[in-house]
Structure 1
Amino acid sequence: MTPPRTSVPFAAALALALTSGAAALGHELLWTRRLLDVTGSSAASGTRVFGAFFLGLSLGALVIARHSVFTRRPWLWLALAELAIAALSAPLLFLPEFTDWIWPWLGRAPLTGAAGGAIKLLVSIVFVCPPAVMMGTTLPLLAAAAVDAQPNMARHGIWLYGANTAGGVLGLILVLLVLMPVLGVRGAMTMILLNAIVAGVAFGFARSRPRAAAARPLPRGDVAEGTRPPRWVIALAAFSGFGILAAEVIALRLLMLLATTSLHAPFGVLVAVILALAAAAFATPLVRTSLSLQAVTAFALVAAGLCFALAPFLFVQVAAHPDWLSAAGAGAFVARLALLTLAVIGPGVLFAGTVFPNLFRLARGRNGHASALAWLLAANGLGGLIGAEVAYRGLLPWLGPHVALGAVGLLYVVAGALMAALAKSMRHVFLAAPVLAGVVALVFVPLRNLPIVNPHMNFAIIAQESGREGTLVVADHPQMGRLMLVDNQYVLGSTSARHDQERQAHLALLLHPLPRRVAFIGVATGMTPGAALMHPEVQAIEAIELSEVVTRMARQHFGDVNHHVLDHEKVTVAVEDGRSYLAAAQDAFDVVAGDLFLPWGAGAGSLYSLEHFRAVKRALREGGLFCQWLPAYQLTSDQLTLIINTFLQVFPEAELFRGGFHPDRPTLALIGLKGPGLDWNVVRQRADALRARDDVKDPSVRSQEALALLHLGPAAPLVQPATPVNTLANMLFERDASKVRLSGGGQGLYLYNRNWTTFLEGRYRHLGSGAAELTRSEAVRRWARLGIMLTNWEIARRTGHASAPDLQRQIAQAFPRSVAADHGADWSHWPGLGRWQLER
């Protein structure tokens, strides 16, 4: 059956609903990004924005539901609401500039306590809630303008709701794949033009149509008592929002076990859910059945519950073919992930998505369908807010993603059985009973046995926990040892890499003359901040970690290898966003060390931004040192150059070191100082004192000569004059890192093996030229060039290249005797082929 021909005003209303929906979801995405730039990239910050958005939508709908005066001139009020959205969104263009005084004023300790959380919530509410309230009024006003004048109000109202929902997909695609890649976050805020378009059209209709005296009487049989829908209808509308948002949140965590962590991944899931909801809305009025609406709704609830309970089994089958999502490009990745999401939870969302439209058909009030729709939207939005919170705070941590999705399915089946009983349809109650029993059985047995980690990866699970930040697993592996794995794809740290992770602390501390107060951005397994306890001059350590789950796992399962750092009296653990925490610190630290961050991870680019580097410099004491570690093996040459150029805007005398000599997973350290440049006499004194204490056995940090082998010279020559700068507003780094990763091109562009050799050859030529204006001795430059030769020799030895013997002879002749003769060192800690291999 095809939709009937509608009048031009209703066709225009459909277009306006689509446009308004696109603007709403586009704004929500951009507002979230802007607020995360201010309140931090933690999952809790994202939840505050989400909560403020849904709270605003509910309040806006409630205003229309309770005050019929707005529905008497709906086109005029719609135009004013859209203009208000545009006006109230404008301040978010410059939100970081408006609010950059807050964290320095507040300070570090209050930031991590109740005061910090309250201020973040207040900022989210102040900037998000007012425009969201205006958004919440738009669909009821459109319904008042275009639906209450139609011959079949229920059908037209549902189609209007479906168009508004479908518009969200267009908004997400427009912002994520078009505006942000081209214009950045600030440029993408031109989404306000869509609100202006809707406002202009609405003003036109307001002028051309007479003021409505009141909504026309409803057809006989459609009138119910009261000015709002029955309470059970409102309650079920709230449950509908609760269930769909809970299922979406859990499905996101489930699918992130397979999808590449990136800026784009969450939106592939969101696009699929919105598409399914829109399809359900458009299809609902076309379904003809002899059953009552209550019975149809009961069936939909039970069917949705069964589909959600079975979804984890579908996911496990799909996860056996992970290559389907690889090497696709950003747009293709979002499309494929959306299709994958539809295959896994699409059936459940389709059935669940028919509940709200059916409730709209059941909800009839004397003020017309606009009032009924407003009441339902208010309840639905509030239910969605609660559902997301329950999923994040309760279901995921307690049950894990598989069982949590089954639990949501169980709630749907129970709701369906209650609905059938309310409809006095005992036949459907009896049909729901075995489904309920089956879902209960699934939740308590088979779903619990589904794997979280790929069973072919040879991990022995020690502990696991799911939550806002993802699914974190502690496991044993034959080669990597004990490790911490995030979302089945990214290793935060492992005991096999213990010495490399400890070296990240040793190098930063040894380059400073007297590091008393030290901050580490990123805890992971705790082995890097734990290494700072081996330096007695360090009096206080502040370990900053975004995830409370990570700190808990590090404390419980890695204490024996991280010196129990998280329980040490010198250590303060701050569960907070690193950018916000450093912004709250003024002249506080002698050394700040940034961990290795996953470049394409959502929000990681902000830790390589100009604003963050400036905040770190303000947090340093005079003479302080900032060491930012970079995973070269996950960076392209252009991305590395972008980071370095951004760093140089704040630390113009920056130096470059590396974490070792292995070519397959090379790391780099950007060193910036607040004050005079690097003093190699200080480095010698610090390394000599370390060697005299003899508690650090790593030969690569026990002497000035060994540290010079890791040196790659000044960072400035790597940058060309036209190199751009990465900021929170343009998101250049995060956009490019995500794009390269999703395209699959990174394997040929990332700096490891041959690409790393090419990079080092450029450094070698520079270190050997007169252009290298280093305020240090020729010996330091010579050791740095020798360190590059060590990597070249290792590659030649691994590949069986003919140059290996000659390189080995050259290195043996030039290798610093003070390093080779360090009998107190443990050469198993050496970050490359061992000394015994060099001597052969």
Structure 2
Amino acid sequence: MPHPDRPLVPNFLLLILLFFSGFAALVYQVLWVRELGLLFGSTAQAAALTIAIFFTGLAAGGWFWGHRAHQFASSLRGFGWVEIGVAVTALGHFVLVDAYHALYPLLYATVGHSVILDTLAKALIAATLLLPAAFLMGGTLPLMVQHCVRYPDQLARVGTRLYAVNTAGSASGALATGFVLPLVLGFRHTYLLAIGIDFTVGLLAVLLSVFWVGQGKSQAIASNVSQQPLQPDRPPLSQARSPHLSLPLPLIWVTAFSSGFATLGIEVIWTRLFSQVLQNSVYTYALVLSTFLLALSLGATIANALARLPRPAPLLILSGLLLLVSSVTAVSPWLFYHSTDGLSYLGRDLGWGGYLLAIARGAGLVMLLPGIVLGAVLPYLMRLLEADPRQPSERIGRLIAADTTGAILGSLTAGFLLLPTVGAWRSLLLLAGLYLVTLTAIALSRFTVPRLIGAGLAVAMVILLTGINLETLQAVPIGTRASDRVVEVQEGSHATVAVVDAAGGGRAIRVNTYYTLGSSRNLHLEQNQTVVPLMLHPKPDSVFYLGMGTGITAGAALAFPVERVVVCELLPEVVALSQRHFTAWTRGLFEDERVTVYAEDGRNCLSRSGDRYNMIISDLFTPWERGTGNLYTLENYRMAKERLESDGMFVQWVPLYQVSQREFGIIARTMAEVFPQVVLWRGDLAPSRSIVALVGQNQAQPLEPQVIARQGRQLVNHLGVSDRAMTDDDLIALLLRLYVGNITASGLFDDSPLNTDHYPLIEYLAPQTHRQVQTGATRFLVGSERERLYEELRAAVTPEADPYLANLTPTQYGAVAAGYHYSRYAQLSDQGNEVQARSDLEKFQALSPPDAVRNLSPARVLLSR
């Protein structure tokens, strides 16, 4: 009599359990990658290490539980206990993460000098966090398959259905984590929700197993598809007679391995390609990932339909799938290029809802059909495994292990070998060729004339793919715009980075086509990001830069009598290209012995070191990009404060042309929560688009005007700048015109929410604002919006009442007022309001020293030779 724990096919309740199991698994994965990114740094290597260890746990779990699932009295009960185990082991995250945040700086101090030892330390930490839960997750599908599959010919029909539902749950988890849960619940409570889901799924499975065992001897268990009753005269699964394998088992495992390798490799490259044409926020990433997972789920559904066909032979269908997936992968570069209109920015002028629809449409056009075919290959291998006499769980477990092992190597190879060496377009063709190589191996497994012909055709197609001309795709190289003169492009493991001579003038660094990190055209504005804050500090001996860009900003520090400069830039490609192409403007940044440049995540670089600095300068970061929100959080500011000397200052540069009043208020409020005094300085006196510096002091102290004069005089004397006639009053006025107001004393943003690692408001709100600006629903802080912000600060705390300006003389208060009037003049004049503009210009001239009227940029005055 068959085991009562095996129904013919899964019923609706079991599908729901498996769906939510997949949902929770993707929530864990997304949060683990993020948490370990905060610990190790948001580098491509750290993310790859996290994914590799997670997938290793899945592969090992699939193999282990697949071998043992049939030994359970009830495999459904085993599934339930494994799910409960996932929930329990995941709880250890709350204990271990806090401990590792304290431990890792000590480990780095010990082994950080060695890349191998540092990587090993990271791997051990990640393994203790991820492996236990991932190992248990790897057993969920084999255990459920063991429960649901009763006879050999059910493996493909039942297994593909379970795989499809589980993958659909993963797609939903990725979408919910990207769009809803962190903003509503915060990351900590989102993680607790995933734990609660797993525990509930496990508990329900255990309770259902009691019902199944009790009912199994008295009645048949009907499925949601088949209503055939249980047939007691059928032999047990282990004794059922099966046909011979149509493909040797080793070749099935090789096919599964190759499928996993190519599928994850293609996913990595598609993600990189989409980064060239999207906002690259948490939302766009979630949409692309969810579309890919949905395609895999639909592919498993197609495999389910194919598994039901009595003819043709399974091997012929598998060969057709491999040929088809190779073909759709090979044409995907042209599909991507033309569906994005030659790598044009998707939904450029659309509001939030329209933008998301445009992304969904673009991702669907590029990924859905190829992804469905990709997703059909692995599940269909279950059809070939029906002839294997082993238990269903063992067959599925081995299949998962082979596929996941391939996925690990495929993602690493695509990200760290193929992209940097042959680029995205050619990488897709190589991965398409891998499917043909697999097809060739299958064709040659048994020497028949048709198979030999098929193998020859596959080899011919591989040769054809390697020789395809990609010039039409490379007319506009990835990482550039059509109007650029390309100097050099690097498709690296982190991003696609280009150095270009822009049509408007100046040499610039661009990341992923549409994000400019800096330009020599804005030389003095970028230098101001160093000159303004360093002139405020009496002795800025040591300076740390969180972010580098072109290197122009950090290079300006070398004009001051600094003793140590540390620069951390996330993208190694940016460091390499800056060193090769921007030395004319970086003042010896890469040769000066006082400077150390790290190609590392800046937050991680700062947190793991015990060094202290007089000044920490955080560069301009696009607030809506995925990952940059971590640089505006309460935890980041607290850590930075700990790395400052007692008289130190933390400088957060903010691009007003990329934030609304809401985001600016959140950032200002978050900094004010950490530093006893936060003040606001302009980075320029431009008509509309400006940058500002939020300067947080480790100790609340008033500004010393003579410090400004002394620092300015040192620059004038040391560099031999052209204008030697400037007095101390001129130098002081030069800087004071850039002062805006006192954030702390004003209280303007006291009611704004805090941006934290667990409630990353900037990361989730800024992308929405970015698109809402396009429809006029809100505005960035440019033009009149910027001036309104300045006016509100001035009205809340007048310069004369500002404790930060307590040491100023009446003339120096006039310099502050002069800056206020010039900013208004520039904005009004830009809008064509010449009457009011002239009034403000006259006030500016009256309040400014005669020799200083024409000098508006400190860097232009003090660093010009």
Q: Normalising to structure 1: TM-score of the pair?
A: 0.92
Q: Which residue pairs with 2:716 in the alignment?
A: 691
Distance 1:219 1:334 in 2: 52
Paired AA for residue 530 in structure 2? A
- 1:466 paired with 2:496, answer no
- 1:230 paired with 2:263, answer no
Distance 1:762 1:470 in 2: 40
Q: How does 1:511-550 map to 2 (within 5 A)?
A: 511-535=536-560, 537-550=561-574
- 1:704 paired with 2:732, answer yes
Superposition CA RMSD, Å: 2.9
SS at match of 2:626: coil
Q: Which residue pairs with 2:187 in the alignment?
A: 185
- The structural deviation recorded for 1:770 is 5.8
Pair 345,452 (structure 1): closer, same or farther in 2 beyond 3 Å: farther
Identity percentage of aligned residues: 25
Q: Which residue pairs with 1:441 in the alignment?
A: 467
Q: Is the 8 A contact 1:23 1:194 kept in 2?
A: yes
- 1:398 paired with 2:421, answer yes
Paired AA for residue 514 in structure 2? Q
Deviation track 1:522-580 (CA, whole Å, cap 9, x = no partner) reads 11111111111111x21111111111111111111111211231232111112222222
Distance 2:612 2:709 in 1: 26
Pair 510,700 (structure 1): closer, same or farther in 2 beyond 3 Å: farther
Please say which of residues 332-341 and 258-267 is displaced more in the overlay.
332-341
Distance 1:84 1:273 in 2: 29
Distance 2:512 2:156 in 1: 44
Q: Which residue pairs with 1:316 in the alignment?
A: 337
Pair 158,586 (structure 1): closer, same or farther in 2 beyond 3 Å: same
Distance 1:323 1:492 in 2: 18
- The structural deviation recorded for 1:446 is 4.0
Q: Is the 8 A contact 1:700 1:706 kept in 2?
A: no
Distance 1:113 1:602 in 2: 29
- 1:216 paired with 2:246, answer no
- 1:719 paired with 2:748, answer yes
Distance 1:351 1:579 in 2: 41
Q: Which residue pairs with 1:484 in the alignment?
A: 509
Paired AA for residue 422 in structure 2? L
Q: Is the 8 A contact 2:520 2:585 kept in 1?
A: yes
Pair 421,450 (structure 1): closer, same or farther in 2 beyond 3 Å: farther
Q: How does 1:635-654 map to 2 (within 5 A)?
A: 635-654=659-678
Q: Is the 8 A contact 1:74 1:142 kept in 2?
A: yes
Q: Which residue pairs with 1:837 in the alignment?
A: none
Distance 1:715 1:466 in 2: 42
Pair 648,68 (structure 1): closer, same or farther in 2 beyond 3 Å: closer
Please say which of residues 511-520 and 324-333 is displaced more in the overlay.
324-333
Deviation track 1:375-399 (CA, whole Å, cap 9, x = no partner) reads 0001111100100000011110011
Distance 1:706 1:264 in 2: 43
Distance 2:859 2:601 in 1: 35
SS at match of 1:354: helix
Distance 1:741 1:63 in 2: 48
- The structural deviation recorded for 1:611 is 0.9
Distance 2:190 2:554 in 1: 39
Paired AA for residue 697 in structure 2? L
Distance 1:366 1:138 in 2: 21
Please say which of residues 523-532 and 409-418 is displaced more in the overlay.
409-418
- 1:621 paired with 2:654, answer no
Q: Is the 8 A contact 2:41 2:603 kept in 1?
A: yes
Q: Which residue pairs with 2:526 in the alignment?
A: 501
Q: Which residue pairs with 1:3 in the alignment?
A: none
Unaligned runs of 5+ in 2: 1-6, 218-234
Distance 2:213 2:454 in 1: 48
Q: Is the 8 A contact 1:34 1:95 kept in 2?
A: no
- 1:277 paired with 2:296, answer yes
Pair 103,370 (structure 1): closer, same or farther in 2 beyond 3 Å: closer
Distance 2:354 2:172 in 1: 15
Distance 2:283 2:59 in 1: 27
Deviation track 1:248-290 (CA, whole Å, cap 9, x = no partner) reads 0001101111111211222222111111111111112323474
Please say which of residues 672-681 and 752-761 is displaced more in the overlay.
672-681
Distance 2:417 2:785 in 1: 46
Q: How does 1:15-94 map to 2 (within 5 A)?
A: 15-68=16-69, 70-93=71-94
Paired AA for residue 202 in structure 1? A
Q: Which residue pairs with 2:823 in the alignment?
A: 791
Pair 77,695 (structure 1): closer, same or farther in 2 beyond 3 Å: farther
Q: Is the 8 A contact 2:175 2:287 kept in 1?
A: no
Please say which of residues 111-120 and 231-240 is displaced more in the overlay.
111-120
Distance 2:579 2:848 in 1: 40
- 1:752 paired with 2:782, answer yes
Q: How does 1:570-649 map to 2 (within 5 A)?
A: 570-586=594-610, 588-649=612-673
Q: Which residue pairs with 2:203 in the alignment?
A: 200
Please say which of residues 390-399 and 713-722 is displaced more in the overlay.
713-722
- The structural deviation recorded for 1:601 is 1.1
Pair 448,745 (structure 1): closer, same or farther in 2 beyond 3 Å: closer
Paired AA for residue 810 in structure 1? K
- 1:346 paired with 2:368, answer yes
Paired AA for residue 566 in structure 1? F
- The structural deviation recorded for 1:819 is 2.2
Aligned length: 821
Given candidates 410, 415, 433, the residue that maps to 2:433 is 410
Pair 79,631 (structure 1): closer, same or farther in 2 beyond 3 Å: same
Distance 1:215 1:325 in 2: 58
Paired AA for residue 384 in structure 1? A
Distance 1:764 1:620 in 2: 29
Pair 93,636 (structure 1): closer, same or farther in 2 beyond 3 Å: farther
- The structural deviation recorded for 1:233 is 0.7
- The structural deviation recorded for 1:452 is 3.0
Distance 1:109 1:157 in 2: 49
- The structural deviation recorded for 1:624 is 1.4
Distance 2:556 2:770 in 1: 32
Distance 1:828 1:579 in 2: 27
Please say which of residues 649-658 and 794-803 is displaced more in the overlay.
794-803
Q: Which residue pairs with 1:735 in the alignment?
A: 764
Pair 79,613 (structure 1): closer, same or farther in 2 beyond 3 Å: same
Q: Is the 8 A contact 2:295 2:375 kept in 1?
A: yes
Q: Which residue pairs with 2:220 in the alignment?
A: none
Given candidates 354, 379, 390, the residue that maps to 1:357 is 379
Q: Is the 8 A contact 2:800 2:813 kept in 1?
A: no
- The structural deviation recorded for 1:668 is 0.8
Q: Is the 8 A contact 1:600 1:737 kept in 2?
A: yes
